[in-house]
């Protein structure tokens, strides 16, 4: 049952206690249906078509408030195929130490194991700051060159599908 006031559903479930004419009523949810209807609670009729639960699911199409009930009608829709998850990220670099001259580069390759379709986004961060978004990851791989004019160690993170892998590159 759902409670309706002024043509709008205002409560989804019967409470265990409620107020009638200023008095608190315990076991409100166990009151006779006639009393509950007088308090604005209407029974819900659900119209669900037959469907194959393995390949289809129901989606609420409409909820109509009638004088003596609420009618919920459902549609059948296909369950979408799950997006395959990225199992792991592998990072390789041709070198982890570069000259801090802005031209010497470390080529970093991120390989995403489990990527069968090009639907994932990769975020690349340097020392925690997002520096690039690669969308989508093509053929399960992202290749980037890293250079710096500042001498220090840099932490590069590659993020995708709740996975993160880190590689450090030192500019000297």
106 C-beta neighbours (distance < 10 Å), count = 21
User: Do 49 and 76 meet the contact criterion of CB atoms below 8 Å apart?
Assistant: yes
Supply the pTM of this predicted model. Answer: 0.51
pLDDT for 116: 63
Q: Is residue 99 located within the same domain as residue 163?
A: yes
Query: Which residue among 18, 44, 78 closes a domain?
Result: 78
**Domain membership of residue 13 as a residue range:** 2-78
Which residues are paired to 63 by β-bridges? 72
Q: Is residue 23 located within the same domain as residue 60?
A: yes
Q: Is residue 17 located within the same domain as residue 71?
A: yes
Provide the number of structural domains found in the chain.
2
The first and second tokens of residue 63, run together, are: 């909820």
The first and second tokens of residue 5, run together, are: 């006031």
pLDDT for 15: 92
The first and second tokens of residue 37, run together, are: 């209807």
Q: Is residue 83 part of a domain?
A: no
5 C-beta neighbours (distance < 10 Å), count = 10
Distance between CA atoms of residues 122 and 86, nearest Å: 11
User: Do 107 and 41 meet the contact criterion of CB atoms below 8 Å apart?
Assistant: no
Give the chain's residues under pLDDT 50: none
Distance between CA atoms of residues 159 and 166, nearest Å: 9
Q: Is residue 92 part of a domain?
A: yes
């Amino acid at each position: 049952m759902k409670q309706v006031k002024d043509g709008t559903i205002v409560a989804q479930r019967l409470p265990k206690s409620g107020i009638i004419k200023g008095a608190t009523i315990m076991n409100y949810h166990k009151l006779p249906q006639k009393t509950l209807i007088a308090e604005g609670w209407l029974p819900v009729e659900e119209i669900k078509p037959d469907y194959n639960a393995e390949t289809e699911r129901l989606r609420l199409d409409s909820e109509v408030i009638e004088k003596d009930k609420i009618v919920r009608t459902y549609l059948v829709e296909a369950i979408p195929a799950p997006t395959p998850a990225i199992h792991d990220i592998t990072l390789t670099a041709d070198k982890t130490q570069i000259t801090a001259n802005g031209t010497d580069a470390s080529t970093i390759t991120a390989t995403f194991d489990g990527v069968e379709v090009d639907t994932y986004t990769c975020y690349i961060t340097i020392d925690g700051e997002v520096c690039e978004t690669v969308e989508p990851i093509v053929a399960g791989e992202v290749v980037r060159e890293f250079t710096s004019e500042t001498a220090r160690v840099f932490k590069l993170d590659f993020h995708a599908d709740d996975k993160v892998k880190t590689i450090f590159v030192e500019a000297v």
